[in-house]
């Protein structure tokens, strides 16, 4: 796995963060070192998805990146469920294709290059996963996207939504972010790398508070929404239609 050193070099100018070639090349290392309990979140999504997935329907992973989640879910979800991975980055999807091939992924599946800002063609779904992806969709388009997802999910199907979230109060929010940066430092990122990445993500990653996400889900077709994971400013939500 190539090491994420995207923000290490002091002479590099701080670009706006994107999911192109350079990011895709180091993405798996970036996520393992930047997302607390990344593997446990994947495992939990797998066990929840296994209970909601229905034979003959589809499971969608929106913002599937390099296919890590599809591989985790494949171990746990019944084989009669077809998988659809969606991402706007062709470079991420190339890596996903390669990883699925290398790991002998044999379940019926499609990988679609689509921008979720334009809506999403979800149909005949029992499970939809969005792991750290809705936060990159322009807020203007989030209601339409969630409504489209809800429309394509069968009754009692679910959406697993994992997001960075803002805290309720600015004091707690600051503390949670401080603890998160400490986590990144423990995983080998320097203060400079952390600061540069934060700047690059400004206006690209737009987090909501948990309550805002919950309201977004409930007003667009989901009946219930529970937190299944929380670590400071990271939140996993299970919404059921
Ligand atoms: C943080 S990554 C997701 C990580 C991945 N779900 C996982 O579990 O490893 C966000 C992904 O969403 C994709 N993405 C961001 N905005 C998007 C959009 N508007 N439409 C489609 N994909 C988008 C990016 O290309 C990137 O691969």
Is the CB of 53 within 6 Å of ligand 1? no
Domain borders along the chain are 21-167+206-240
Q: Is 62 in contact with 86 (CB distance < 8 Å)?
A: yes
Report, in angstroms and rounded to the nearest whole number, the Rg of the chain calculated over CA atoms. 17
Atom of ligand 1 nearest to the CA of 42: 8
pLDDT in tens, 118-147: 988 899 999 999 999 999 999 999 999 999
The residue whose CA has the least distance to atom 12 of ligand 1 is 63
pLDDT in tens, 62-96: 999 999 999 999 999 999 999 999 999 999 999 99
User: From CA 104, how far away is CA 89, in angstroms rounded?
Assistant: 23
Q: What's the rounded mean pLDDT across residues 93-120?
A: 96
User: From CA 138, how far away is CA 141, in angstroms rounded?
Assistant: 6
Is the CB of 212 within 6 Å of ligand 1? no
CATH of 21-167+206-240, one of 3.40.1520.20, 3.30.428.10, 3.40.50.150, 3.40.640.10: 3.40.50.150
Using most ligand atoms within 8 A of CB, pick from 88, 90, 120 the residue to mutate for ligand 1. Answer: 88
Quickly tell me which residue has 């489209």 as its tokens. Answer: 148
Q: What is the pLDDT of residue 77?
A: 98
Quickly tell me which residue has 């446990």 as its tokens. Answer: 40
Is the CB of 69 within 6 Å of ligand 1? yes
User: From CA 151, how far away is CA 178, in angstroms rounded?
Assistant: 39
pLDDT in tens, 27-46: 788 889 899 999 999 999 99
Quickly tell me which residue has 């499609």 as its tokens. Answer: 110
Q: Is 31 in contact with 57 (CB distance < 8 Å)?
A: no
Is the CB of 48 within 6 Å of ligand 1? no
Reported as a pLDDT band with limits 50, 70 and 90, residue 163 is: very high
Q: How many degrees, rounded to 5, is the angle at CA 73 between CA 68 and CA 77?
A: 165
Give the pTM: 0.94
Reported as a pLDDT band with limits 50, 70 and 90, residue 197 is: confident
């Amino acid at each position: 796995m190539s090491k994420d050193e995207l923000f290490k070099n002091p002479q590099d100018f701080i670009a706006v963060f994107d999911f192109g070639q350079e990011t895709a090349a180091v993405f798996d290392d970036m996520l393992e070192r930047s997302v607390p309990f990344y593997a446990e979140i994947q495992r939990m999504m797998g066990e929840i998805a296994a209970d909601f997935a229905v034979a003959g329907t589809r499971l969608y992973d929106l913002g599937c990146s390099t296919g890590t989640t599809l591989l985790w879910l494949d171990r746990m979800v019944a084989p009669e469920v077809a998988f659809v991975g969606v991402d706007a980055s062709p470079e991420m999807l190339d890596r996903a294709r390669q990883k699925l091939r290398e790991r002998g992924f044999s379940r019926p599946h499609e990988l679609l290059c689509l921008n979720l800002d334009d809506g999403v063609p979800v149909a005949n779904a029992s499970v939809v996963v969005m792991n750290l992806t809705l936060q990159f969709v322009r807020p203007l388009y989030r209601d339409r996207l969630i409504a489209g997802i809800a429309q394509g999910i069968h009754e009692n199907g679910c959406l697993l939504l994992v997001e960075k979230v803002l805290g309720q109060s600015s004091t707690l929010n600051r503390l949670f972010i401080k603890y998160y940066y400490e986590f990144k430092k423990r995983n080998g990122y320097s203060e400079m790398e952390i600061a540069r990445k934060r700047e690059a993500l400004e206006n690209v990653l737009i987090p909501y508070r948990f309550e805002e996400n919950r309201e977004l889900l409930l007003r667009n077709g989901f009946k219930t929404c529970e937190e299944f994971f929380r670590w400071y400013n990271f939140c996993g939500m299970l919404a059921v239609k």
